Amino acid sequence: MSEENFSESPSGPTPSSESLYPGSRHSLPVRRPSFDFDAVVPKHWIGGNALATHVFNGLQLLFPAGERFFIRSVKAALPQVEDEGLRVQARAFVAQEAMHTREHEQWNLRLEAQGYRIEPHLRRFASMLRFIARYTPNSLQLALTAGAEHYTALLGTIALTQPIMREHMHPVMEQLIVWHACEEVEHKAVAFDVMQASGIGYAMRILGYLLSTVMLVGWTVAGTRMLLKQDGLSRREVKALGQALPRQNEAAVRRKIGAGFRAYFRRDFHPNESDELVVARRELASVGLDLVVSPDPAGA
Ligand SMILES: [Fe+2]
Ligand SMILES: [Fe+2]
């Protein structure tokens, strides 16, 4: 894996000395992993459980088109950003999300190779995003992006700190998820800060957040159902799969999601008021994708 560093420091990323706080201008390394999905990842890659697998698949289906939307909305707001440190982070945000898009597109191709018909679902989702991009103001699109980024950071933090599901994942998928989760934590405040710098107020911020909530939940549930249906599973079989899932940390995860959901409504909320940077980079190293800086001839 190669990596490009967007830190303003010429000496490269210094994860041990960095932390997240409102206004922090920490480095956002753009890593370029390449995951080997071919043939090695089974259909039901979380412990053979189709339900757990397809909840993750249902969410991941949304990433390529969703992240392209995020990139466009942040880029469109950049002329209003005067803080050079934030502009550097915004460019790194774009580069990180572009890498996520690339790898999740590969995963979507793998799902098709496994026999799933996902194209109509992806097409409907992409046309809804095109509709939003065409007929709503940039301010709402940026608020929607900032709201969605709150969720990717929240879910990423859970994936990094609650290893219960990861224990049962195929190692290649665990790498994909930990890499993506780590970078969502690293750049969790960028869209929010760009939104603030663009002068977007509380009402629009919350409108975008609520819209992102409805879209994220609705499309993930729809994708999960579609994949379970294509596996030919009955309701009873799906229920049994749900009962077979490990439950040790369920209450803690529910509390974390509830607290995270409510926090965004506080007027003084900021994504970097909690700092998970050290744990994120530690978990990345734990799956063999550690921070080795190497020259990147391809550029961002
Ligand atoms: Fe992402
Ligand atoms: Fe993101």
DSSP 67-80: HHHHHHHHHHHGGG
In order of 170, 206, 262, the CA distances from 273 in angstroms are 33, 18, 14
Q: Is residue 212 within 8 Å of residue 147, measured between CB atoms?
A: yes
Distance of alpha carbon 39 from alpha carbon 173, whole angstroms? 13
Residue 195: the pLDDT is 98
**E strand or H helix that includes residue 32:** strand 30-32
Burial 82-99 (b: 16+ CB within 10 A, else e): eeeebebbbbbbbbbbeb
DSSP 178-233: HHHHHHHHHTTTHHHHHHHHTT--HHHHHHHHHHHHHHHHHHHHHHHHHHHHHTT-
Q: How far is the CA of 155 from the centre of ligand 1 (A)?
A: 11
Flag residues of the chain having pLDDT under 50: 4-16, 292-300
Q: Give residue limits of the domains in the chain.
A: 19-29+43-286
Ramachandran sector of residue 299 (left: φ over 0; alpha: ψ -120 to 50; beta: rest): left
Q: How far is the CA of 148 from the centre of ligand 1 (A)?
A: 10
Distance of alpha carbon 145 from alpha carbon 208, whole angstroms? 7
CATH code: domain 19-29+43-286 is: 1.10.620
Instruction: Note the ligand closest to the C-alpha atom of 187.
Output: 2
Instruction: Note the ligand closest to the C-alpha atom of 100.
Output: 1
Residue 62: the pLDDT is 97
Instruction: Note the ligand closest to the C-alpha atom of 180.
Output: 1
Residue 289: the pLDDT is 84
Residue 14: the pLDDT is 44
Closest C-alpha among 236, 134, 144, 149 to residue 186: 149
pLDDT tens digit sequence for 195-215: 999 999 999 999 999 999 999
Instruction: Note the ligand closest to the C-alpha atom of 99.
Output: 1
pLDDT tens digit sequence for 157-193: 999 998 777 889 999 999 999 999 999 999 999 999 9
Residue 3: the pLDDT is 53
Q: Is residue 65 within 8 Å of residue 71, measured between CB atoms?
A: no
CB atoms within 5 A of ion ligand 1 belong to 97, 100
Phi and psi, residue 294, nearest 5°: -140, 155
Q: How far is the CA of 234 from the centre of ligand 2 (A)?
A: 35
Q: How far is the CA of 67 from the centre of ligand 1 (A)?
A: 6
Residue 249: the pLDDT is 80
Distance from the first to the final alpha carbon of the chain: 14
Q: How far is the CA of 18 from the centre of ligand 1 (A)?
A: 21
Residue 141: the pLDDT is 98
